[in-house]
Amino acid sequence: MIKEINASTGEIVEREYTAVEEKLAEETQKEFREAIAEAEAKAATRQALLTRLGITEEEARILLGGN
């Protein structure tokens, strides 16, 4: 269900997704889930490396010349 608001009149119309909108929403959600999974994997890899090196993220930034 979609709620559309007419900015001029303030009228709110509720309607079902069209087939195209439904497909786009599903694709967008899939891409979002994949991006979240990728970010979580990178964070886990980064944390594992820091743990293996025995340093904190802040110490790694200092070593790598970051602020």
Q: Where are the domains of the chain?
A: 2-63
Residues 6 or more apart in contact with residue 13 via CB below 8 angstroms: 3, 4, 5, 6
Q: What is the pLDDT of residues 37-61, one digit of tens each?
A: 999 999 999 999 999 999 999 999 9
What is the band of 66 on the pLDDT scale with cuts at 50, 70, 90?
Answer: confident
CB 17 within 8 A of CB 2: yes
Which residue type does 21 have?
Answer: E
CA distances from 30 to 9, 12, 39, 40 (A): 35, 28, 14, 15
